Homo-oligomer: A and B are copies of this chain.
């Protein structure tokens, strides 16, 4: 995939694309059918892995199901019809038992969870790569003096290592939120009672236990957590959104620093390979920072939409709140994956101009040390040679946190 309106979109590949969602929904249906057979609810003859019935990679099936989705309000009805018609040819029992006991929301929610997990897996990898690179930068530049700036003006000295350690801390915070996410299957039937399951299992011993086992069996097959239905309790979704926005927050801050410090008059940082211009041959634009910043500016509103959708739950399935989740979650997830990759590339190629940092620092020293003079006066001593406080200890602490992270994520 790629998107003329969102440069870099191809970095997200097929993550949470239409084909990916279609494939994930088929996986959910297959896991269900398999569990039904294993539990003895459906006959052994209904066993069918549903493989090859749809072609997510080709445009036709996705198009057909997407186009048919409006009539039922979601794409699952058409998917089930299509699966049933195609499997019937080779396995009438499978056609008969397919989807029985599920509701559209089960399939779509579970499919979305599977897709979102794939995105988060990729994002985790990028975050870990960034941790490695940022630890290197913080370590290498632990002693690289530069002007600290507040409200755009020179404040007191810092080191670029400290700045990198700050970026690193933000990335690790984002990682902590991402790794805490849970990935539950949605399995509840029409109104979250699993009534159809018990009805279908009526001939077996303890149908209610069979129903519970079905939920566990499907979740296990998909590598998801087995939980009770959460069809109108959308915290699982909003947490995903919040964690993703937390990532773009952390990257946005990095991008903003790069954009400010790569202004030619400052020149302390530059993107390794700047972007060209359609008309100005000399240009080397900080394109990756610009595009990461773009993501950071737009992600919060997408996260807010997920919360709003959650807040608008009602009844046993919402009349719009649920439907308002899907595209914003997709957009947020893909754009976060893109920004993840762009940030890694940005950091990998980042050039640190320690000489410019030092030159500006030295030229501004009188201002940068103004606070120090006040403190030395107060303490009744001459100003010390340096004015970096515990900077190196703070950097070390960030590096230690990074090392722990990298060991756990090797």
Contact = CB atoms under 8 A, between A and B. Distances in A.
Interface stretch (A117-125, A259-267, A347-355): A259-267
Contact of A73 (B67, B101, B285): B285
Nearest to A281: B370
8 contacts: A4-B18, A4-B62, A70-B342, A100-B378, A149-B316, A177-B235, A194-B389, A238-B246
Contacts of A366: 282
Interface string A273-307: 01111111111111101111110111111111101
The 3 A-B pairs with the shortest beta carbon distances in the complex, nearest first, are A148-B191, A293-B320, A195-B389
A9 interface: yes
A280 B230 CA distance: 20
Number of copies of chain A assembled together: 4
A307 B299 contact: yes
Contact of A70 (B8, B100, B238, B304): B8
A264 B154 contact: yes
A173 B76 CA distance: 28
Contacts of A157: 191, 193, 195
Nearest to A373: B281
A223 interface: no
Interface residues of A, number: 179
Interface stretch (A126-134, A135-143, A327-335): A327-335
B63 A191 contact: no
A97 B279 CA distance: 12
A310 B245 CA distance: 10
Given A263-B263, A303-B303, A5 B394 contact: no
A22 B7 contact: no
B278 A77 contact: yes
A242 B248 CA distance: 15
A96 interface: yes
A374 to B, nearest CB: 6
Contacts of A262: 152-153
